[in-house]
Structure formats: structure tokens, C-alpha cells
Structure 1
Amino acid sequence: MEDMHKDVMIQVRVPKEIRDKFKSIVERKAQTQAKVIRQLIERYIQDNE
């Protein structure tokens, strides 16, 4: 049976200053950038369906 949960990559451009601040906060909270972005996307979907 083929895996139903295939991950894909989303690339976005943000100013370096924003990326650096985001990375710093995420690391300070012992999280990963990918996990935080996934949570934001999931919340956006829930709020807008």
C-alpha cells in the first residue's frame, strides 16, 4: 500500500532580518522552524475552512 502521507516542500522568501529573528525565537523555545510553520499553516486552515 502506498504511503498516504507524503511530505512536500514549500519555499518562501522573507527578508533576512525576519528570518533571523524567527530562527532565534524558535531556537530559544527549543522548537524547529518547520514545526512552527506547520502549526501556523494548520491553524490558518482551521480558521479559514
Structure 2
Amino acid sequence: MTGKEDKHKDVMIQVRVPKEVRDEFKQLVDKKAQTQAKVIRQLIERYIQDNK
């Protein structure tokens, strides 16, 4: 499969957090030259592994 085909299998998760939490999170990931999405994916993957 090509990368484009793989993307069609991705799904979106929406969450609500206080603006202050979102702003601080964004500052921290920007400081480490990461994206919010990448960090959240890593957290979800780690949670799954830790809780199997």
C-alpha cells in the first residue's frame, strides 16, 4: 500500500480540554519541535502497550 492509501484508514479523535491546558501543551511540543498529533499518538500507543 502507498502512504496515500494508508491515510484513508486513519480516524480522528476529538477531545475537549481547557484552553490553558491546550496552550501549555502546544508550547511544550513546539519547544521540542514536535507536533501535537505525534505526541498524542505516542501517548495513546504507550497507553495501549501498558494496559494490555
Provide the TM-score with structure 1 as the length reference. 0.90
The aligned residue for residue 24 of structure 1 is 27
1:12 pairs with one of 15, 22, 46: 15
Q: Give the TM-score normalised by the residue count of structure 2.
A: 0.85
**Number of matched pairs:** 48
Residue 28 of structure 1 aligns with an amino acid whose one-letter code is: K
Q: Unaligned stretches of 5+ in structure 1?
A: none
Q: Which runs of 4+ in 1 moved over 6 A?
A: none
| Unaligned runs of at least 5 residues, structure 2 | none
CA-based RMSD: 1.6
